[in-house]
Structure 1
Amino acid sequence: FVLHAPATDYERAFIVQASSGIEGLIVAAPDLASMRMLEAPLRQSFGDALVLYHSGLNQGQRSEAIKQMASGEARAVLGSLMAVYAPLPRVRLIALAHEESTLYKSQSAPHANARDVAVMRAYLEGSTVLLTSICPSVESWHNAASGKYTLLDHSKGGSRPRVRVMGMYADKGEKRKAFSEKLIASVERAASGGGRALLYVNRKGHSTLKCSECGHMDLCPTCSVPLVFHKWHKKGRTLECALCGNSSKPGETCPSCKGHSLEPTGVGLERIEEEFKAMRPVGVDTKTRDRIKLLTEDESRLAVGTRTLTRSDALSHGFQVVGVVNADSFMYQPDFRAAERAMQDLVYAADKTAPGGELIIQSNRPRHLLFSNLRSFNLKAFYKRELEERREPGFPPHTRIAVLRIEGDKRPKLDPFGFKDAEALGPVGALDKKGRKHFKLLLKASTSAILQHAVRKALAQLKGRKVDVDVDPLEL
């Protein structure tokens, strides 16, 4: 079953209700915050028969949990992605909250997706699977539309915020503003009326520095991408690469023309905080759980955060205004899933609004069809168009894909005609987060059997090289 829920509160309540009276239950959540929100209501139903099973446990706690499961003392398991492997002797229901989350995908070999493991385990054991989300993955929606899964569409319930999309234009010769006047007015109106506002930005740091005289921007020497300027970094004023973490101190003059006109471009978390500091913003570091806890208890009128904040179940739905500062920053990514991820981000941002609240989105393309679907919360039309757009280039769920990451500085030589019915793209050079060079080979096939054959052929040609194989990758 795939539940399309109207809100995350409804999603949790549905899981708890579906779990009532079940002997042999596994509930998985993508992160510890989501797991904790489910723990209290499940504990009311199962008491000490509910066992926690996640990566935060030490070896002794994990061994004790396994002992309780194997002995039959535990009737229910709640945990992270590893919960789907819980050794319960008889499983009747496996429920996955926020099934679209990329956190269910293991980053290490064999790169298993807990969602797929849950579905296969339920099939082998004759159990039921419940996948829940306020914005399901395209793959799960496709499986429901094709009859493989059963769709429970409860998305029409609950209150929805008013959605407004602001075009961010600038006259020739003028600087583009980070905030529209309407967004500023809405934030001020919410704050002055005793309400709260949330500004969502897709980048940490302050901005990137660009010389207004010659146009020079400092690039990472390893990744060749613009360095992000951090004003309040723990190392002080710092230029840092968002990919590999390389950092350096910014100079007072342009390293190219020696000019003194280094100006910030783009908008990051720090810059938003800086411009709204008069309204007592609360800075939320994307990696600091304590800051999220602080925000839930603080009376500040304005919160500033990234995706971790909007996706956190620990944060209540109490914002009269949620502003997405630059939707284009996550809509236009070099990935066939970019539109899907953008819609999910915006739906989760809308979920943080209070009843009668407002979601304001800033974009350079305010007439994009994605926004039209979002205004009416017509995700069915969005999924239909997304599936059609993926069909012609042959991307999942219409095909199966695998990415082979080949270590080393030397480009491997592969026979492009050696993959039979599969399509091979690459290999192309790439860098990992530590700056180490490798090559990526993308294989596409119409069936799992053809893909497996192509992977075996590729590995045979790459004998002697270290290769990491990721089937059904979530990121290219």
Structure 2
Amino acid sequence: MSASPPYLEVAVAAPLPQTLTYALPAGGEIPVPGQRVLVPLGGRLLTGYVLAASDEKPEFRLKPIAGLLDDFPVFPENMVPFFRWVARYYHYPIGEVIRGALPGGLTSQSGRQIKVTEAGLHSFLVKQPQLAQEYPWLATLTSKKKLSGATVRKLWRGKEKRLIEQWAEQGLISVEQIISAASIGQKTETCVFSAAEPLAPELLASLKPSEKKTLALLGEMLPHSPRGLPRRELTRVYSGAAKALAALAAKRIIRLEERPVYRDPFGETPLFYPRPDRLTVDQAKVLAQLNPAIAKKKYAAFLLHGVTGSGKTEVYLQAAETTLALGRSVLVLVPEIALATQLEAHFLSRFGETVALLHSGLARGERFDQWQRVVSGKARIVIGARSAIFAPLGDPGLIIVDEEHDGAYKQEDSLRYQGRDLALLRGSQAGATVLLGSATPSLASYQHALNGKYTLLSLPARIENRPLPQVELVDLQAVNTVSGRPPLFSPQLTQALCSDCGQAVQCPHCRITLTLHKGRGELVCHYCGFATNSRTVCTNCRSINLAPIGFGTERIEEELAGMFPKARIARLDHDTTRNRQDFLRILRAVHDREVDILVGTQMITKGHHFPHVTLVGIVWADAGLGMPDYKAGERTFQLLAQVTGRAGRGEQPGKVIVQTHQPGHYSIAAARDHDYPRFFAKEIGLRKALGYPPFSRLINLVLDGEQEVAVQNRAEALAAKGKTLHRYRKTAILGPAPAPLARLRGRFRWQILLKGPDLEELHGLCVELEQEHARLAGAVNLSVDVDPESML
């Protein structure tokens, strides 16, 4: 290869199935893999990501890149194979994979802007005013003098395009190409430095009083700021300093420089967790196996099966110490942002400023800054939810997946990736140790551990040998109702039920029962966001007698307040934790014993450490058993085992009361007895008999559109096509059938399930069905879900 490879392989930030090759302009700076470039495509300029450079000239003519967007890469070169694999495996355009991985606001692209000329104004307003009635957008153009953005894109795709081109030729309007800059970038602040030369007496005498005062303050403050004094700190002390600083800089008495500054995502200091005096015997055994593997700098996968409260977090922290000492970096994944907040406190207590936070709950600027800290190597530990798997770590040596069983690691829209699986992939590509941790491992992970694919580690006892909580099952079948109402903490989430006809009020767009939000006085669809007044009429019989039933978190909180008027009650759910600070506030209140009763959704089951909780109540344990999903039993066991694990983690023993209609179900009985092996043996036998994962692989093809007949016809056409492709003999085509959520956000949904043991064959059939769908065209969308977590 020559010293100056002139050809670039670029992944364009657009829904393209392949990468494109561009030429490097003569004498142009050679970008490196990971840098962003501006490239021409289809008459527009779009953001592209350089994947590779080559001096092998393709046989076709190439367009040159339009320019560089960065001085440095936004991701390291070692992530290029990772992005390629993700795009191929999940059937998703690689440019879109990379764009979704990067902080929002980094994409630049060109668009068209229409401007009206003086001749055009005269023609449209004086000669032909009737045109504004025929083309309403023309009135906007003549009043604002220009149009751009979505309005122009819509016009350019419609019948008006030819008319616009005609008016442009006549000189009535002009059509220009504009480039939208990235909406986020490095934040800077002005810092003050002292001049190198001593101040001459005559110059000092000529200063104004405000300048002398500012200079005196600088004499006090600058010695404590060797890296420069932020101007805002000085102006906070003396409001007249801003103008004086400019004058002093002009006289070269001081020096003003712009310095990069990071937006702080941590806000309020989280709880501090001290280092324990010693490890337990089990923790020491686990680390004795982990640390040598980390030191080898080769891929190894471990499954840490530790009961709730057994000290998995301390294992994570000490394994991270070993990794950092070797000069490598650490990635820690958690299933939800709320858990990132708690684990972040542990890592900040131990490692301080080397910790970065990456998740979708951060503001754009905060996420950009955290990303930059990681790219630059200033942060060597990254903690985040599933999207943090794309963190631009240059040399990850340890990847931790906490609560690895959790379904939240699977993204359910756009790029439908599984964060845990990508952690294993990234570890194998980087030569890193991957540590999966859980008190209730996924069936697939535990099976892999038993088969030797992973090394199984165990923490079988709680810290200080504290007992696991006693669990009592309450059979709801035996509980009498009062006045026709369900018992306290009944099965239903809070819904609106018509007392005249018994019809639940449903979303008009999704066919999902609406949930009552009492504080807002609204019935809300939790799938599409539709909301209506809680005093609406029944859509079935037009009655106004809608009565709230059931006990969602708001209703439970209300009932408990009536039963225990002196108790301090807090609620932990998505409504009360809109941001990180809300969650921290509740977490701190529980930790400081300012809360007597905590009411919550599944959010409170996931890994939280509440040492003072001694009683846990589960209002309806078998809520998920009736779901149309082969994982229903597994999810139920995991949920119950996790929530029972919140009790008795401190000095006092814990008790759990579980309300259920099916006390004999194997998932519920095994959770009561804290018996994971018994649950695993039963569930794995059922999976094997039915041929479900981990004994097969699945790809779910979901079709959606506004016309139900069109969606059904397309689903039937694709299924029929697949059944004619006899070379895919090992793959079964199940369906087509309406999706369990048959209508969502106003769109009808059908699905086809591909099931088989041969992964290569499964993907081959999927590709052919995608190609057939593209050939048929039309207004029906196809989404590919590889290894679906949920069949809804």
TM-score, scaled relative to structure 1 = 0.84
User: Which SS does the other structure have where 2:765 is aligned?
Assistant: helix
What amino acid is aligned across from residue 600 of structure 2 in structure 1? G
What are the equivalent positions in structure 2 for 1:266-415 lying under 5 Å apart?
266-278=550-562, 279=564, 280=567, 281-289=569-577, 290=582, 293-294=585-586, 296=590, 299-311=594-606, 313=608, 316-354=610-648, 355-408=652-705, 409=707, 410=710, 411=712, 412=714, 413-414=717-718, 415=720
Encode CA deviations 1:242-270: one digit per residue, 9 max, x unaligned: 43333333558867667786554433223
Q: Matched residues in 2 for 1:239 and 1:451: separation?
A: 42
Contact 1:209/1:229 (CA < 8 Å) preserved in 2?
A: no
Higher mean displacement: 245-254 or 130-139:
245-254
What amino acid is aligned across from residue 453 of structure 2 in structure 1? K
Q: Matched residues in 2 for 1:432 and 1:12: separation?
A: 42
Shift of 1:42: 2.9
Q: Matched residues in 2 for 1:226 and 1:81: separation?
A: 29
The reply on whether 1:473 has 2:761 as its aligned counterpart is no
Encode CA deviations 1:417-446: one digit per residue, 9 max, x unaligned: 135331122233344642322322211111
User: Which SS does the other structure have where 1:326 is aligned?
Assistant: coil
C-alpha distance 73-247 of structure 1, shift in aligned 2 (>3 A): closer
1:187: which partner in 2? Answer: none
C-alpha distance 74-271 of structure 1, shift in aligned 2 (>3 A): closer
Shift of 1:176: 6.0
Q: Matched residues in 2 for 1:86 and 1:214: separation?
A: 53
Shift of 1:132: 0.7
Encode CA deviations 1:58-89: one digit per residue, 9 max, x unaligned: 55555554554455444433333233333333
C-alpha distance 275-72 of structure 1, shift in aligned 2 (>3 A): closer
Shift of 1:224: 3.4
Contact 2:700/2:788 (CA < 8 Å) preserved in 1?
A: yes
Q: Matched residues in 2 for 1:55 and 1:240: separation?
A: 23
> How many residue pairs get matched?
450
Q: Matched residues in 2 for 1:52 and 1:239: separation?
A: 35
Counterpart among 762, 766, 769 of residue 451 in structure 1 = 762
Q: Matched residues in 1 for 2:696 and 2:345: separation?
A: 41
Higher mean displacement: 384-393 or 126-135:
384-393
The reply on whether 1:48 has 2:353 as its aligned counterpart is yes
1:186: which partner in 2? Answer: none
C-alpha distance 422-303 of structure 1, shift in aligned 2 (>3 A): same
The reply on whether 1:223 has 2:518 as its aligned counterpart is no
RMSD: 3.0
C-alpha distance 35-241 of structure 1, shift in aligned 2 (>3 A): closer
Q: Matched residues in 1 for 2:376 and 2:438: separation?
A: 33
What are the equivalent positions in structure 2 for 1:20-31 lying under 5 Å apart?
20-23=321-324, 24=328, 25-31=330-336
Contact 1:244/1:434 (CA < 8 Å) preserved in 2?
A: yes
Structure 2: runs of 5+ lacking an equivalent = 1-301
Shift of 1:8: 5.2
**Structure showing greater Rg:** 2
Contact 1:29/1:96 (CA < 8 Å) preserved in 2?
A: yes
Encode CA deviations 1:411-470: one digit per residue, 9 max, x unaligned: 212315135331122233344642322322211111211210120122122122532111
1:188: which partner in 2? Answer: none
Shift of 1:307: 0.9
What are the equivalent positions in structure 2 for 1:174-253 lying under 5 Å apart?
175=484, 177-179=486-488, 206-211=494-499, 214-230=501-517, 232-234=518-520, 236=521, 238-250=522-534
Shift of 1:340: 1.3
Q: Matched residues in 2 for 1:79 and 1:130: separation?
A: 15
Higher mean displacement: 270-279 or 451-460:
270-279
What amino acid is aligned across from residue 10 of structure 1 in structure 2? G
Q: Matched residues in 2 for 1:249 and 1:36: separation?
A: 35
Q: Matched residues in 2 for 1:324 and 1:348: separation?
A: 11
Identity of aligned residues (%): 30
The reply on whether 1:10 has 2:10 as its aligned counterpart is no
Shift of 1:471: 0.4
Higher mean displacement: 435-444 or 423-432:
423-432
Shift of 1:177: 4.0
Shift of 1:309: 2.7
Q: Matched residues in 2 for 1:60 and 1:260: separation?
A: 48
Contact 2:486/2:550 (CA < 8 Å) preserved in 1?
A: no
The reply on whether 1:161 has 2:469 as its aligned counterpart is yes
Contact 1:8/1:134 (CA < 8 Å) preserved in 2?
A: no
Contact 1:162/1:359 (CA < 8 Å) preserved in 2?
A: yes
1:429: which partner in 2? Answer: 738
User: Which SS does the other structure have where 1:467 is aligned?
Assistant: strand
Structure 1: runs of 5+ lacking an equivalent = 180-198
Q: Matched residues in 1 for 2:345 and 2:482: separation?
A: 57
Contact 1:33/1:312 (CA < 8 Å) preserved in 2?
A: no
Q: Matched residues in 2 for 1:300 and 1:37: separation?
A: 18
Q: Matched residues in 2 for 1:269 and 1:263: separation?
A: 17
Q: Matched residues in 1 for 2:513 and 2:349: separation?
A: 51
Shift of 1:2: 0.7
Encode CA deviations 1:392-420: one digit per residue, 9 max, x unaligned: 22221111111112232212123151353
Q: Matched residues in 2 for 1:274 and 1:44: separation?
A: 37
What amino acid is aligned across from residue 469 of structure 1 in structure 2? V
2:452: which partner in 1? Answer: 147
TM-score, scaled relative to structure 2 = 0.52
C-alpha distance 458-44 of structure 1, shift in aligned 2 (>3 A): same
User: Which SS does the other structure have where 2:403 is aligned?
Assistant: coil
Q: Matched residues in 1 for 2:547 and 2:704: separation?
A: 38
Shift of 1:303: 2.4
What amino acid is aligned across from residue 321 of structure 1 in structure 2? L
Q: Matched residues in 2 for 1:318 and 1:217: separation?
A: 39
User: Which SS does the other structure have where 2:382 is aligned?
Assistant: strand
Shift of 1:167: 0.5
Encode CA deviations 1:12-63: one digit per residue, 9 max, x unaligned: 1121122223132222222333223333443455443333333345555555
What amino acid is aligned across from residue 19 of structure 1 in structure 2? A
Q: Matched residues in 1 for 2:501 and 2:335: separation?
A: 46
Return the structure number with greater relative CO, CA threshold 8 A, min gap 6: 1
Higher mean displacement: 81-90 or 168-177:
168-177
The reply on whether 1:418 has 2:724 as its aligned counterpart is yes
User: Which SS does the other structure have where 2:654 is aligned?
Assistant: strand
What amino acid is aligned across from residue 703 of structure 2 in structure 1? I
C-alpha distance 104-203 of structure 1, shift in aligned 2 (>3 A): farther
Contact 2:702/2:750 (CA < 8 Å) preserved in 1?
A: yes
Q: Matched residues in 1 for 2:613 and 2:647: separation?
A: 5
Encode CA deviations 1:333-355: one digit per residue, 9 max, x unaligned: 11111111111211221122124
Encode CA deviations 1:124-147: one digit per residue, 9 max, x unaligned: 222210011121112211211221
Q: Matched residues in 1 for 2:349 and 2:482: separation?
A: 62
Q: Matched residues in 1 for 2:595 and 2:371: separation?
A: 44
C-alpha distance 449-175 of structure 1, shift in aligned 2 (>3 A): same
Shift of 1:472: 0.6
Q: Matched residues in 1 for 2:526 and 2:355: separation?
A: 40
C-alpha distance 283-109 of structure 1, shift in aligned 2 (>3 A): closer
C-alpha distance 73-329 of structure 1, shift in aligned 2 (>3 A): closer
What amino acid is aligned across from residue 417 of structure 1 in structure 2? K
Higher mean displacement: 424-433 or 349-358:
424-433
1:183: which partner in 2? Answer: none
Contact 1:407/1:439 (CA < 8 Å) preserved in 2?
A: yes
